[in-house]
Amino acid sequence: MDFMVFQYPMITVQACLDGILLGILFALIAYGMALQWGVMNIINIAQGDLVILGGYIAYFMYLYGIHPAWGVIVSPIIMYFVGIGIYKLVINKVVDRDLFISILATFGISILFMQLMNFAFGADVVLANSGYGTTFLFDNNVVLPNSKIFSAFVSIVFAICLVIYMKKSKLGRAIRATAQNARAAKILGVDTEKVYAATFGINAALCGVAGALISITFTIHPYMGLPYTIRSFMIVIVAGLGNLPGVALSGMGLGVFEEFADYILGTEFRIGSVFLLLVLILVYRRFKLSKKREYLK
Amino acid sequence: MINKNLIIYLSILIFGLIAPFIFPAFKVQLSILCVLIILAMTWNIQGGEMGYNSFGNILFYGLGMYLCASVQVGMFFPLAEWTESGGEKTFVHTPAQFFQGFGVGLAVAAVVPAIVAGLIGYSILGLRGHYFAICTLGLGVAAGEISGGIEIIGAGQGFTTPPFPNFGGLEARGEFFYFCSFISLVLTFIVVKSIYSTRFKLVLNAIRDNEDKAEAMGIQTMKYKIIGWMISAFFCGLAGGIMGGLVGYIDSTDVAFDGREMGVFMVLMAILGGKGTLWGPVIGASVFHIFKEGFWTFFLGWQYVALGVLIVVIVIYFPEGIMGWLREKYPERFGEVVDEADRKAQVELK
């Protein structure tokens, strides 16, 4: 136990800023998860592995001498097609089935991806060095890498673009219609199959952006996918489906929580505390709803 | 006429008793198979019969593993020094100490997870469907991450279980653990089979089919759900304790709380065999174990790729499992009365 946090207020500021910048990234991943959950009623356990795969694309650009920030453009394009491929091969067979089937199937995809990435890229922890330098605030007491600020900015830009796209474009309208009522949308001439594929592709592309940013700001490792899935799931259930400001806020809240858990409990309990928080949130919601004789649906 | 079932059971029992002497090279594999069958059968109690698909039974398995080894060491020697020395031979169990410690350890390893399941059951079994699945997944991973940070049980460097005592050059380690796991398997099978012939199983099925209606019929569903999970946890802990002794080394995320391997295996085996049947998990575990060992030996390194593909294929194309397929093919064997004309009419309708 380390109570530095309470003795030095600047560490609190540092943790809060770090957490908020990190949380914006989480919110971007969670947005993708909320999208496919709302439209296709699928919980994608492989979400985190898509993020890590996107990160490796940016890392490879860095290895070949291209600045990793371009990964933010390239990675989503590649990931979009990866997402479409996964949809055509697996997801379209589980869309209408029991949710447990889709959870288990995507769990299988997650294990598959984890291991393939382990083969292809090795089991080392890597990061793509962007060379952006750092910003010092408050008499050098608070240190913020510029890459974190950059990644938060890019995530916000992508999120805003996507919201506008969903509101204005034809495909966006079709996606929203399918989310509301798939059967009615089909009757009115929406090709739901295409909408599902596009949704999954957009989700994978968002994961690609987030992954590229994570490879610049933090580290990536083939087995680090599952915590990202759990984080985005947690953010979605706290915020609720289709509540964008809620997703952003709970993402930042989660980021701040994690930073404080890191300082107070120690880094070895960081991932554990995230998973435990998920259990606590679910149990809290369950008791709150059971007073009204309801349950989480 | 002699009962046909009795012959089948007796022949399996006799085969089980003499198997380690016929196939001495496969003693360890057979013990692991017994443990896998126990895990699949107990997962099936709440996954298949009750409809609560848990990814978190690995929690009880790992808990049992750590508890059994800790009790076995801690009864005679200081636990902290044992794990600190990394299982160096500073302390040696005498045979009497070893067996006494292992027996008490197994009892603790079975009872404590059941109590834990009872304690957390009220909170967690209130969740339904995929929320329950993801919550238990989180629970299993959290347990692994947290136990990897606790010093007294070895933290990141692992925990070596006491080595099997050696009496006068007689090497009986394989036999001992085989009979431990086989006896536990027989015990589990008897308990599960007797459960399946009572009203309790019908209540579990009612919960699976429609929990709200079951509640409306006056069944205290929460009580039955907790009892079902506790039974499951009891045998999971027992299996974990045996497996800990068998493997000889406990690591938090790779052996004990190995959600990526054992945690998925138990779900997969039950689904492969057929959820919600007595024999399904047994058949599923046996088929899966043979397949897995083949793959693990011949395609070393690609095993998780194969596992991922296998999960996807089984889930998409084979969700009813082997028993479900057999049932569709030979409905008469399962005691279903088939009206030929009716069946033909259905086929024509399709």
User: Would you give the DSSP letter of residue B148?
Assistant: T
Interchain contact, A112 vs B309, CB within 8 Å: yes
Contact check, Cβ <8 Å, B316/A268: no
Is B122 inside any structural domain? yes
pTM over 0.90: no
> Considering the domain boundaries, does residue B163 fall inside one?
yes
Report the DSSP beta bridge partners of residue A145.
Answer: A134
Task: Report the number of distinct structural domains present in chain B.
Answer: 1
B217 touches chain A (CB under 8 A): no
- Of A21-35, A120-134, A191-205, B79-93, the range with the lowest mean pLDDT is B79-93
Q: Check the CA dihedral B125-B129-B130-B133 and report its sign.
A: positive
Within a domain: residue B38? yes
- Which pLDDT score, from 0 to 100, does residue A120 have? 82
Tell me whether residue A71 is in a domain.
yes
pLDDT, one tens digit per residue, over B210-233 is: 888 888 888 888 889 999 999 999
Q: What is the pLDDT of residues A192-244, one digit of tens each?
A: 888 899 999 999 999 999 988 888 888 888 888 888 888 888 888 888 777 77
| A295 domain residue, yes or no | no
Minimal C-alpha gap between A113 and chain B (Å): 8
pLDDT level of residue B115 (50, 70, 90 thresholds): very high
Of all residues in chain A, the one with the smallest CA distance to B126 is: A286
Give φ, ψ of A154 to 5 degrees.
-65, -40
A189: left (phi over 0), alpha (psi -120 to 50) or beta: left
Q: Both tokens of residue B258? A: 């190995």
Give the whole-number percent of chain A exceeding pLDDT 90. Answer: 5
Tell me how close the Cα of B54 comes to any Cα of chain A, in angstroms.
Answer: 10
Closest CA to B195 of B228, B217, B218: B228
Taking the CA of residue B144 and the nearest CA in chain A, the distance in Å comes to 8
Segment 70-109 of chain B within 8 Å of chain A by CB: none
CA atoms of B208 and B215, how far apart (whole Å): 12
pLDDT for position A204 = 92
Mean pLDDT value across residues A82-111: 85
Q: Judge whether residue B90 has pLDDT over 70.
A: no
User: What is the percent of chain B where pLDDT is above 70?
Assistant: 89
Q: What is the mean pLDDT of chain B?
A: 82
B167 has a pLDDT exceeding 70: no
Residue A266 domain-assigned (yes or no): yes
Q: Are B109 and A269 in contact (CB under 8 A)?
A: no
Residue A160 corresponds to which tokens in the numbers above? 């805003």
Domain count within chain A: 1
| Partners of residue A109 in chain B, C-beta under 8 Å | 308, 312
Interchain proximity B141–A233, CB inside 8 Å: no
> Is B344 a member of any domain?
no
Q: Is residue B21 domain-resident?
A: no
Determine how β-strand B249-250 pairs with β-strand A142-145: unpaired
Beta carbons of A290 and B308 less than 8 Å apart:
no
Domain membership flag for residue B176: yes
**B residues 134-173 closer than 8 Å to A (CB):** 134-135, 137-139, 141-142, 144-146, 148-149, 156
Q: Which residues of chain B from 258 to 317 reach within 8 Å of chain A, CB to CB?
A: 260, 264, 267, 271, 301-302, 304-305, 307-312, 315-316
pLDDT band at B88 (very low <50, low <70, confident <90, very high): low
Instruction: Give how far B4 is from chain A: nearest CA, Å.
Output: 37
Is B271 a member of any domain? yes
| Mean pLDDT of the region B168-181 | 77
Q: Which of B301, B304, B309 sits opposite A114 (nearest CB)?
A: B304
Beta carbons of B149 and A266 less than 8 Å apart? yes
Kindly report the CATH number assigned to the domain that includes residue A52: 1.10.3470
b/e per residue, A80-105, with b = 16+ CB within 10 A? bebbbebbeebbebbbeeebbbbbbb
Flag whether A110 is in a domain: yes
CA distances from A296 to A94, A118, A280, A282 (A): 22, 36, 14, 9
CB within 8 Å of A23: residues ≥ 6 apart: A251, A252, A253, A254, A255, A256
**Domain around B163:** 27-319
Of the candidates A101, A119, A272, the beta carbon closest to that of B315 is on A101
Query: How many Cβ atoms are within 10 Å of B275's Cβ, its own excluded?
Result: 24
Confidence of residue B234 (pLDDT cuts 50, 70, 90): very high
What is the per-residue pLDDT for B168? 60
pLDDT band at B142 (very low <50, low <70, confident <90, very high): confident
Strands of B188-277 (E only): list them: 249-250
Phi-psi region of A140 (alpha: psi -120 to 50; beta: other; left: phi over 0): left
Q: What is the 3-state secondary structure (H, E, C) of A104-135?
A: HHHHHHHHHHHHHHHHHHCCCCECCCCCCCEE
Question: Does any domain span residue A297?
Answer: no
CB pairs under 8 A between A and B: 131
The CB density around residue A260, as the number of other CB atoms within 10 Å, is: 18
Report the SS3 class of residue A145. strand
Contact between A286 and B130 using a beta-carbon 8 Å cutoff:
no
Average pLDDT over residues A16-21: 85
Q: Name the band, by pLDDT with cuts 50, 70 and 90, for residue B22.
A: confident
Task: Identify whether A119 is part of a domain.
Answer: yes
Residue B20 predicted with pLDDT over 80: no
Q: Which residue has 């296709």 as its token pair? A: A40
Distance separating alpha carbons of residues A153 and A24, to the nearest angstrom: 9
Question: Could you tell me if residue B335 is inside a domain?
Answer: no
Cβ-defined contacts of B290-293 (< 8 Å, 24+): B292/B265, B293/B29
| pLDDT surpassing 70 at residue A4 | no
Write out the residue range of the structural domain in which residue A248 sits: 4-290
**Contact assessment for residue A249 and residue A28, using Cβ atoms and an 8 Å cutoff:** no
Cα–Cα distance, B174 to B155 (Å, whole number):
28
As a residue count, chain B comes to 350
pLDDT attached to residue A1: 46
Q: Say yes or no for a CB contact (<8 Å) between B126 and A295.
A: yes
**Do residues A108 and B311 make contact, with C-beta atoms less than 8 angstroms apart?**
yes
Instruction: Please give the residue of chain A at the shortest CA–CA distance from B123.
Output: A283
Beta carbons of B87 and B160 less than 8 angstroms apart: yes
Residue A30 scores a pLDDT above 80: yes
Q: Tell me: pLDDT of A51 over 80.
A: yes
